[in-house]
Structures are given as structure tokens and as C-alpha cells.
Amino acid sequence: MASMATQRNFSVESLGQGQSIPPSVPLVLPNNLEYDLGTHTVRRRPGVERSSLTVVAEAMSLLAGIDAPVAVVAVTGPCRSGKSYMLSRMLGSSDAFQLGHSFEPETFGIWMSTKVLTCDGLTVVLLDTEGIDAVEAEAQNDASLLVLTILSCSLLVFNTTSVPKQGQLEKLQCFAELAEAVRIWKSGELDHEEFSRHFPDLLWLLRDSTLTPTDADGNPIDARSYLTKRVLKESGKFRPTPSDMVSRAITGFFPALDCRTLPPPSSDKHVMQNIETNQDRLDPEFNQGMDDLVKHILSTVKPKQGFGQGKTVTGRQLAALVQHYVATLNDPRSMPTLQTAWDAALMTLVEDTVRELQERYVREMRHGIEQAGGMPLEEDPTSSVPSMMSLHQAVFEGLLDTLKGRLHTFCEVAEMTQAVVDLTAGVNGTQDGSHGILSTLLSENRNSSESFCNQLIQDLYKPISDKLASPPEDYDIKALEADLAQLKATYDENARGPCKHKVYLQFAEFLEGQKTTFSTIKGFQEEDYKLQEETRRREAEVATLQEERLQVERQVALSMKEQQDQVEMLMAEFGREVQNLKEEEKERRDAILRNLQAKMEETARRNVAMLEELSQRQDGMVQQQMEAMQQQQRQQMETMMGMAKAIQERNDKLAQEVQRQAEKTKSPGMLDKVMGSVVDIFKQGASLFLMSKFPLVGAAAAVGASAAQAATGRTASTSTVPKAPSTK
């Protein structure tokens, strides 16, 4: 199976090079289990009930061996939901983690892959966790493992089968309990809003998903929208439900929330029971989905962050954090506090690093001495041959570089200063007289030098001593002086170490005491002999004093150089710290500005929405009023039209009646009188009707009728009716 990591420029590497280790090892186990390093198996501890967690030293050692920044991908979720298989696929395998095929879960505690993914200085560590609903686990165990997993990783993959429902969130109360299980600051303040700065990103993986997520109206939506808008949507009730509490925890605690789906590996139940041995029978759609998931994870995973801005965590630092978290979780009286854990891990890391570097100093110095021919060596670092001080400087500078490399992203300037001081004191000793490792090695070298030179000068003097015991006939004082000069030259050429001048001074004092022996040599002159021996002794004393002075000067120069190196290193660290503070302050200001801008934009959007809603409401009210007035006018017009029609019909009937009456009477003037009476009756009836239905219209009609009647009366009174001719 080809590894998707390789296609993403990640390479798969093994931890513990040269060791025989299985594909995965337990990092943390319940206390009722123990790991057998010889057989690489987990066995139960008879008579022990599960009540706490224990760290596994072998796995901690592998993790602590990673000095590079780490990104930790941890998978959690219900039992038998495919957590182990997904991690194995990330490594291009199908069985990097033990897979379960029975009802009993195969993973207890937290397991770590012994293979990691590396790219550009970043090491991706994979963790497989016990199912949060394991048969033997209790709620407290679930919560402890979840807290430990969250605090240890930079990406948490929550693996569940199928698409969740909102009501199913009640089963995930361990997420809601995070608020009561973790603190950020030592003060113990409720600081839930800070969780998202220190918690990992969350990827909710929906396994064996065959249904398309939809919104409330049944329209298809992506998995993330379904998760945030439907599954994690709160009920809106006055009292939050258990599901509401879980929703708040998930959406509020994790800085980034994503969701992806995977189809079932196969529809064949036999394949599903053991998918790692049926790779060629898996559905192509599942394989493609798994490959896409691996690409997504490796393209988005971030380094694990420490407590503070810009502080990445190495494997060594993570091991210290995990040990502290486990100890805290096992204590019912305490609670994991990120700041406290960071400080404790920092102290442990500094102490372990200083101790390890001191041990490394001894190893590298011993190796360098052996490579240089063994003790004794010269102490003078200006010598052309390897010396104790030149070896010390090279080894110690390497230790400082390692110390800075391990701690500079983890420590503040004060902690870094203390670490350098502790390392220097352990190696060089302290000003109050405490001896360091270097002093021990120098003392050992001096003792070796003294022994070597004493043996050398004894070997060189023995031929002379034999001649003095039985001098040849031609052996005179000049021959003796020649032999002693040759001894001095040979000694100077072969003597080694800082005690060579001291040993020769002792030899010169010895020769001064051999006056009686030398007096038997031909040509011996006591005054000349005294002068020569005094000269030799003084030369040896001067050389010895010069060596002692050089030793003091070297020590002073060494201390000054180391102090200068420390100052330069601390100044560099201080400069980096200042730069980091400037960047953090700039980021903080930018974050505040972004937050203010976002709030202003949100306020503006709300105001615009309110104005639009108000405008729509006002427009609606005006429209409704206009429609009501128009409806009322239409009704009035219809009423008036009906009235007018009724009046017209009545007028027609009256006119017809008048016509009949006129035809009956046939008398002159009768028609006008009858028509006038009819008009008056009609006007009065119309006025009364209008006043009853429409007061304003009726009043106007009445006024008009009255005016018309008055006008008619005036006309009638002023007009003359012609008299009919008299017929007698």
C-alpha cells in the first residue's frame, strides 16, 4: 500500500533506530495493565482494579528522543469505530496499530506509533486512544483519557460512525465536563474563553456515512454545515439541556472545527469484520475517501503549541508534559492547569537537559582524550596537539549549542540564563570552590602527567646512575654533564602534561643531593657543580612557575570567555525575546483591531438589517392602509352606484306614474305641479337616506336639496300663470 504521506513530501521514519520494537507501543495504560517490553504484550495485573493511569517508560523514552517540534494527531471516539485503521493508513500500512475484531476493544489507554512522519523539521506523532465507551471504562476514566488526549495533541480526530443526531450529543458528556476538569492559569480563575488558545483543532469524522447531510428544509449541505447548524445547534430552551452543554463545549473550546465523511469500506460483512486482510476487496470510493482524508490532515496539521505565543513543543517537552498531566489526573485533589504543567515540565526539562549534557560532556571528553592518545595531555589550548582545554572548549561549545537548541523556544530569558549557569557550574565548578567535571578531569590528567614524567625521567637517569655506581676509566665530569644534557633534551621532547616541569624540578633537586656520588668523577669541581645544579634548579623552577602561571591565565581566560559567551548568548536570547514580544504585541493589537472591526461590521449589519426590517414594516403598514382605503372607497362607490341605480329605477317608476296621471287629467298646469311635488319628495328621500349612510355626503345633499327647494319657491312666487279665458 503506497503511503499518502510520501506524496505530501512527508517521509516515514522509525523511532528508536537499531532497537527491536513493535509498530506501536502504549504511552499511557490503566493501572490494572502492564506492558511487557520483552514480549511486546499487555497483560493484566491480578487483583488490581482500574482506578488511575500510568506512563510507560519505554514509550516515554522514544517520545523524549524527538528533539524536533512535533505535531500530534490523536484519534478518539466510540469503540470499534475504525480509529486504529485510519492511523495505520496514514503510515501507508493497514496494521500499524492493533485492530479489534471482537466486542472487546483492543486499545486500552493511549498508544503511540513507533513510526513518525517527518517533513521540513516537523515530526508528526500518531496517537490511538481507548474508546470513550469501553466496557471496562467508567465515566471518570473516559474524562481523564479525553483530557489527557486533548492536552497532548494538536489535532483531535473524533471518529464516529454515520451521521450523528442532535439528541445523541447527550452521550458525549465528557466534552462538557472539560470545563470543570481543566484550568489555564495557576490562579484557578474560570477562563473558558481561553481554552480555544490552548486546545487542539477538532476534526469530526463521520464513518460509514451513506446519507447526504441536509438542512432543515431538506436541501443538501456540506458535512461541516450540517455539524454546526444542525447537530451542534442549541435547543434555545431557558435551561440548557445536556446536549446544549456538549454543543457549547465543542464549539467554544476548540479553535477550529471541521467535519468530513467516509463511506463504508464494503457492503460485505465478512470484509468489514477484518478489513486489514481484505485490502483488495475494499470499495474504491472508500479508498479514495481515505486518501483524501490523509491529504487533508497532513496539509492542515500544525505543531503542538506550548504555553505562550510562538512556543512549539518538541517530543522531549511533550514527554515531560504528559508525565505531569498523568500525575495530576491521578490525584483527585488536583486539576490539570496548563500554566502549572508548563512550569513543571519546564523545570523537569531544564534539569534533565543539564544532567544529560553533563553526562555527555564526560563521554565526549573521554572519547576526545582517547582519540588524542590518552592521558596525559597538555592543558595549553594553544598547543598544536590536542589538549585538555582545546577539547573542553570544543565539547562545551557543542553543549551550549544543544542547550540553546532545546530550550530557546521553550524557555524565557530567565530560565535560559539559569540553565546556562547550572550547566557551566556543573562542568567548570563555581566561584565558591565547588569542583566541576572539568576540574576532576584536569586533576586526573595532572596525576597521570606526574606519574608518566616520573617514570620517564627514571628511565632516562638509570643508565647514568649505573655509570656513577661503577664509573668507566674515561668517564669524567664532562661526560657526566653531556649525559645530563642529553637526559634533559630527551625528557623535554617526550615529557607530557602539565607536571613535566614540576617533575624535572624535583629531579634537579635530586641531582643537587648527589654531590657525594659525583665527587668521585674525574675533574669534579664542587663550585662548578653547585653552579650548574643551581642553574638547572632555577630553570626548572622558572618553567614550573611559568606553567602554573599559564594554568591560572588559562583558567581566567576560560572563565572570561565563557562569561562572554554567556552574555552574547543571553543578549541574543533577549533580542529574540524582545522581537517575540513586539510580534506578540503587534498580533495582540491587530487582533483587537480585527475584533473591533468585526464588531463594528456586525453592528452595522444589524443596524442595516433593523432599518430594512423597519422600512419593510412601515412600507407594509402604508400599503395595508392604502389597500384598506381603496377597498373602502370601492365599497362606497359600489354602494353609491347601487343607490343611484335604485333611485333611477324609482324615478323611472315615478315618471311612469306621473305620465299616467297626466294622461288621466289632461288639464293644463297639472303636469308641472305633479312633477314638482315628485321632485321634492325624491330630494327629501335621497337626503335622508344619504345622511343615514354617509353623514357628510347626506348633509351636503340635504343642503343642496334645501337650496334647490328655496330656489324653486322663489321662482314659483315671482312667475305668473296665464289665466284661462273666461267662457261663460
> Residue 365 — very low, low, confident or very high, per pLDDT cuts 50/70/90?
very high
Higher pLDDT, 622 or 129: 129
Tell me the C-alpha distance between 259 and 132, whole Å. 19
Backbone dihedral region for residue 304 (phi beyond 0: left; psi -120 to 50: alpha; all else: beta): beta
Residue range 162-177: mean pLDDT, rounded: 68
Output the DSSP codes for 149-201.
Answer: HHHH-SEEEEEEES---GGGGGGGHHHHTHHHH-BSSTT----GGGHHHHSPE
Higher pLDDT, 447 or 270: 447
Higher pLDDT, 533 or 153: 153
Residue range 530-556: mean pLDDT, rounded: 63
Tell me the C-alpha distance between 298 and 615, whole Å. 50
Q: Identify the weakest region by mean pLDDT among 64-73, 154-163, 450-459.
A: 154-163
Amino acid at 328: T
Residue range 70-80: mean pLDDT, rounded: 85
- Residue 510 confidence (pLDDT): 84
Task: Name the pTM for this structure.
Answer: 0.64
Higher pLDDT, 644 or 58: 58
Nearest to 298 by CA among 118, 151, 159, 150: 118
- Residue 495 confidence (pLDDT): 93
Share of the chain above pLDDT 90, in %: 25
- Residue 187 confidence (pLDDT): 59
Mean pLDDT taken over the chain: 78
Nearest to 322 by CA among 118, 576, 524, 147: 147
Q: Which residue has the cell 637526559?
A: 487
Output the DSSP codes for 514-546.
Answer: THHHHTTSBT--HHHHHHHHHHHHHHHHHHHHH
> Residue 487 — very low, low, confident or very high, per pLDDT cuts 50/70/90?
very high
Contacts of 189 (CB under 8 A, 6+ apart): 183
- Residue 710 confidence (pLDDT): 47
**CA dist 219 → 206, 214, 216, 228, 232 (Å):** 19, 5, 7, 15, 18
- Residue 449 confidence (pLDDT): 95
The grid cell for 300 is 492542515
By the 8 A CB rule, do 9 and 119 touch? yes
By the 8 A CB rule, do 141 and 149 touch? no
Does 172 have pLDDT greater than 90? no
- 3-class SS string, 128-159: EECCCCCCCCCHHHHHHHHHHHHHHCCEEEEE
Tens of pLDDT, residues 413-461: 778 888 888 898 899 887 666 788 998 999 999 999 999 999 999 999 9
Output the DSSP codes for 19-64.
Answer: S---SEEEEEEETTEEEETTTTEEEE-TT----SEEE-HHHHHHHH
